Amino acid sequence: MCASCPTRILFQSCASIRGAIRAWRATFTRSPQTGEFLRRVEGLLIYLIPHYIREGKSYLTIAFGCTGGRHRSVMLAEAVSKTLHKKGYGSKVVHRDLAK
């Protein structure tokens, strides 16, 4: 995972949890490290998926992880899924630890 991506803990001093999450999300998505990580992962997947399809593979599992599994990995998985859909590939996102 992208260990250098901003973490939500940076915004614990915000007045409200919702405000902290909004501030973190905005910073996370604008972070150069996050953008570079997403560009590289998405580029690799867009390159590899046609090869998997040609080999007859019916599915590909992609997993992201972070310390708690409820913030960075969730946002990255959703962003990659959105990109894959834009490129014409179906995807199913499952957030294993979101409810913990």
Is residue 77 in a domain?
yes
The pLDDT score that the predictor gives to residue 69 is: 59
Summarize pLDDT for 28-48 with one digit per residue, the tens: 777 888 888 889 999 999 999
Summarize pLDDT for 3-15 with one digit per residue, the tens: 555 555 544 444 4
Is residue 20 in a domain?
yes
Hey, is 14 helix, strand or coil?
coil
Nearest to 97 by CA among 61, 70, 65, 64: 70
Q: In the structure, what pLDDT confidence band is assigned to residue 24 with cuts at 50, 70 and 90?
A: low
- Our count of domains for the chain comes to 1
Residue 17 has pLDDT above 70, yes or no: no
How far is Cα 79 from Cα 73, in angstroms, rounded to an integer? Answer: 10
Instruction: Using CB atoms within 10 Å of the CB of residue 64, give its burial: 0 to 12 exposed, 13 to 18 middle, 19+ buried.
Output: buried
CB 2 within 8 A of CB 37: yes
The pLDDT score that the predictor gives to residue 43 is: 97
CB 53 within 8 A of CB 18: no
Neighbours of 28 (CB within 10 A): 22
Is residue 30 in a domain?
yes
User: Domain of 49?
Assistant: 8-86
Summarize pLDDT for 58-92 with one digit per residue, the tens: 999 999 887 765 678 888 888 899 999 999 999 99
